[in-house]
Amino acid sequence: MNDPRREITVAVAGQPNSGKSTIFNMLTGARQHVANYPGVTIEKRSGKYSYKGDTVILVDLPGTYSLTSYSQEERIATDFLLYEKPAVVLDIIDASNLERNLYLTFQLQEMGMPLIIALNMMDVAEARGLRIDTQKLSELLKVPVIVTVGNKGKGKEELKTAIINARRNTENNNFRIDYGEKLEPILSLLEKRLSEDLKISLSYPVRWLAVKLMENDSVARRLVEKAFSK
- DSSP codes, 40-98: S-SEEEEEEEEETTEEEEEEEPPP-S-SSTTSHHHHHHHHIIIII--SEEEEEEEGGGH
pLDDT tens string for the chain (230 positions)?
444 458 899 999 999 999 999 999 999 987 788 888 887 888 889 999 999 889 999 999 999 999 987 889 999 999 999 999 999 999 999 999 999 999 999 999 999 889 999 999 988 999 999 999 999 999 999 999 999 988 888 999 999 999 999 876 655 566 788 899 999 999 999 999 999 988 898 888 999 999 999 988 888 888 888 877 76
Structure pTM? Answer: 0.90
Q: Domains of the chain (ranges plus CATH)?
A: 6-168 (3.40.50.300), 184-228 (no CATH)
Closest by CA position to 113, among listed 15, 190, 23, 205: 205
